[in-house]
Structure 1
Amino acid sequence: MTNFRRLFNQRGFSLVELIVTIVIIGILASVAVVNFGSNDITTKLAAAAKKARSDLQYAQDMAISSANAVKVVLEQQNNQYALQWEDGTPLPNIMGGGNFVVSFNSANFSGVSITDTDLPDGILVFRPPYGSPYYSDGVTELESVKRVLVLNDQKSVKITPSTGRIFIDDE
């Protein structure tokens, strides 16, 4: 019975326990803030690569579902890319409003640049019925894995010939 009363009468934490807890929380918070700030460009770079991969898959899906060829036009000097039908007409942006143009000059991707591509003229064409990738002439199929775009010389979005598998790779 005495043990039960002692347990019942205990009212809180000691001062030492509170101070140790506050110090541990402070250390964890400072480590989290330092890590968050240093990974900002890494996070933007990963997001940009995922966005590009997603948009390439969308272009491929549009070629398959519409039975019309779709072009991806890279403009390295403007740090952007656009999706167009084979005749050059811009694809509408599925997120609403305007043409499908993605610029890495926006605040979401600040510090991210298109630094390279394996496509001779910066154009990739997806042809129906399977969404296979071709060079800009729309006739010559890719013969090997190509880097569609390289971001900050660190991450590349690549495509395989025939199957058109699109994936992200670290440089």
Structure 2
Amino acid sequence: MQNQKGFSLIELIVVMAIMGIAAGIAVPVYNNMKPQIRLNGAARQVMGDLMWARMRAISENNNYVIAFGEVNKILTNDTYYIYDDNDNDFSSVGIEADELVKEVVISDKYKDMGYGYAPGIKKTNNSSLLTGDAVTFNSGGASKPIWFNFKPNGSPNITGTIYLIPDEDEASGRKDRSRALSVNQTGRIKSWRYNMASNLWE
């Protein structure tokens, strides 16, 4: 008779038990990682759109405006808008609906993510504690949202930083999953992570 090879019932039970234990460990770990994964996605989305707007400003030789939230510096809708400011008059005229080229609701694309920061967190220059709005570009006025623009040479009209955080971390004060994006004088966009070990942005 030929040798018959296969798995015994005991071997199958042992394998299934090991798989069950592995799944029991992996699922909670993944669930804990989901907010960080979504926040990283949101940061990449914003950074990509800022880079795109800067590139369009240079190639079209006119201003591209990025506006955050609603008028009067209200950020609770977690939205940003990109305007092709063909006539370069956003600073005086404000929003013109026909110039809107993109609208992104961060919390729709990345559940429970948005503008914000945990109390006691530092600014990205690590100099002092962050206070005020989670988007620090201060071009806005009483009837405008928070905004800035990329000029045809690729530089911004004003520098600033966008702070992003999971909603649950803003409520609880957790800092380690915080992200930020800053735009410097030349138009360079930098992504930041908060290091809890050093209590510094890196």
Q: TM-score, normalised by structure 1?
A: 0.75
**Partner residue, 1:81:** 80
Shift of 1:78: 2.7
**Partner residue, 1:54:** 48
Letter in 2 for 1:126: F
Output aligned runs, 1:22-37, within 5 Å.
22-37=16-31
CA distances 1:6-41 after superposition (whole Å, capped 9, x unpaired): xx6132123332222111111112222212222222
Aligned match of 2:136 in 96, 114, 118?
118
Matched residue count: 145
Aligned match of 1:17 in 2, 7, 11?
11
Shift of 1:161: 2.0
Residues 16 and 77 (structure 1 numbering): CA distance in 2 closer, same or farther, change over 3 Å? closer
**Partner residue, 2:37:** 43
**Partner residue, 1:71:** 65
Output aligned runs, 1:140-151, within 5 Å.
142=159, 146-147=160-161, 149-151=162-164
SS at match of 1:119: coil
Work out which of the two has the higher radius of gyration on C-alpha atoms and give 1 or 2: 1
Pair 1:170-2:172 in alignment: no
Gaps of 5+ in 1: 93-99, 136-141
Taking the aligned partners of 1:169 and 1:112, their CA distance within structure 2 comes to: 16
Q: TM-score, normalised by structure 2?
A: 0.64
Question: CA RMSD for the aligned pairs?
Answer: 2.0
- Of structures 1 and 2, the one scoring higher in RCO (CA 8 A, sep 6+) is 2
Taking the aligned partners of 2:150 and 2:157, their CA distance within structure 1 comes to: 6
Shift of 1:160: 2.6
Percent identical pairs in the alignment equals 28
